[in-house]
């Protein structure tokens, strides 16, 4: 952005997050969408079970029998008094269940330790990787075909979709297991069962969580507009954005000059252009 007035900027994301969608609604971004997978089409099925369902171990055992790799994901690193699952707790459990084939990965580990675990998982003796959300991006282990995400309701939909993208990368039939405590709280997660479309999932995430503050630190919630709701009134936002662009791109149009002159009562033209 500092290279000049006409420098182009391309921002890329593997999964469109709600905050990105919010920025695009305000007109700060133009979006190009790649709908096809870069390699082979993925065959990933998503199911919802309870945290302690024995089906989880069946899926893991079957994957190991087929010489496939398995991800186990927890929302926390260390034990929590709240009873939520942690990576360390699950690591101990899976070591007891499956032996020395299990590795542990989380953000508090040193860089060389993380690199060693990932290399052993991708190419060596680790078949089950117990991890936090740090595997969400940048991990490409082709023969990983099962992912179990404990306390799945602790994650946003876009993050869950991104995590799910770590499996089935070679086209092998794969399963993402969303494990939750209460099966009556599956409404949010059902969109992942029904869809693999990142934009559809992100839009649903946007409607549930809100985009947060575009200028500020709040990461969720609906902006405090007086008369509009950014999610429910999205079409009005889009029309207003396009009208504003048309006015500013054709300021010599007599009709637009009148509109701009009215706007100057409350804001000068220089500030209006910045907006």
* Phi, psi dihedral angles at 24 (to 5 degrees): -70, -35
pLDDT digits (tens, 9 = 90+) for 82-91: 778 999 999 9
Give the chain's mean pLDDT: 83
Query: Is residue 65 packed enough to be buried (19+ CB in 10 Å), middle (13-18) or exposed (0-12)?
Result: exposed
The answer to whether the Cα torsion of 87, 90, 96, 99 is positive or negative is: negative
Which domains does the chain show, CATH number per domain? 44-209 (3.40.50.300), 233-275 (no CATH)
In 3D space, the residue among 168, 148, 165, 172 whose CA is nearest the CA of residue 74 turns out to be: 148
Share of residues in the chain with pLDDT > 90 (%) = 43
Whether the predicted pLDDT of 98 surpasses 80: yes
So what's the pLDDT on residue 250?
A: 83
> Please, are residues 175 and 69 in contact by the beta-carbon 8 Å criterion?
no
> Please, are residues 76 and 84 in contact by the beta-carbon 8 Å criterion?
yes
So what's the pLDDT on residue 190?
A: 93
pLDDT band at 253 (very low <50, low <70, confident <90, very high): confident
- Kindly give, in sequence order, each residue whose CB lies less than 8 Å from that of residue 208, ignoring residues fewer than 6 positions away: 157, 188
* Phi, psi dihedral angles at 94 (to 5 degrees): -75, -25
> Please, are residues 162 and 132 in contact by the beta-carbon 8 Å criterion?
no
So what's the pLDDT on residue 128?
A: 97
So what's the pLDDT on residue 240?
A: 83
pLDDT digits (tens, 9 = 90+) for 40-67: 778 899 999 999 999 999 999 999 999 9
What is the radius of gyration, based on Cα positions, of the chain? 23
- Kindly give, in sequence order, each residue whose CB lies less than 8 Å from that of residue 253, ignoring residues fewer than 6 positions away: 247
């Amino acid at each position: 952005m500092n290279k000049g007035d006409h420098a182009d900027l391309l921002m890329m994301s593997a999964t469109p997050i709600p905050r990105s969608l919010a920025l695009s609604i305000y007109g700060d971004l133009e979006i190009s969408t790649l709908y096809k997978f870069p390699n082979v089409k993925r065959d990933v099925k998503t199911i919802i079970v309870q945290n302690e369902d024995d089906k989880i171990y069946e899926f893991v055992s079957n994957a190991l029998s087929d010489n496939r790799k398995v991800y186990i994901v927890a929302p926390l690193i260390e034990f929590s008094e709240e009873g939520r699952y942690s990576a360390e707790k699950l690591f101990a459990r899976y070591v007891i269940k499956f032996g020395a084939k299990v590795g542990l990965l989380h953000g508090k580990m040193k860089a060389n330790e993380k690199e060693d675990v990932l290399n052993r998982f991708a190419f060596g003796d680790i078949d089950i990787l117990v991890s936090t959300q740090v595997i969400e991006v940048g991990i490409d282990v082709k023969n990983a075909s099962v992912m179990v995400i404990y306390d799945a309701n602790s994650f946003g939909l876009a993050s869950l979709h991104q995590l799910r993208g770590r499996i089935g990368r070679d086209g092998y039939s794969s399963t993402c297991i969303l494990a939750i405590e209460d099966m009556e709280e599956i409404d949010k997660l059902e969109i992942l069962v029904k869809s693999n479309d990142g934009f559809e999932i992100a839009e649903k995430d946007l409607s549930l969580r809100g985009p947060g503050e575009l200028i500020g630190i709040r990461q969720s919630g609906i902006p405090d507009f007086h008369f509009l709701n950014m999610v429910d009134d999205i079409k009005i936002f889009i029309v207003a954005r396009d009208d504003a662009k048309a006015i500013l791109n054709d300021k010599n149009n007599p009709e637009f000059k009148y509109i701009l002159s009215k706007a100057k009562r409350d804001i000068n033209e220089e500030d209006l252009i910045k907006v």
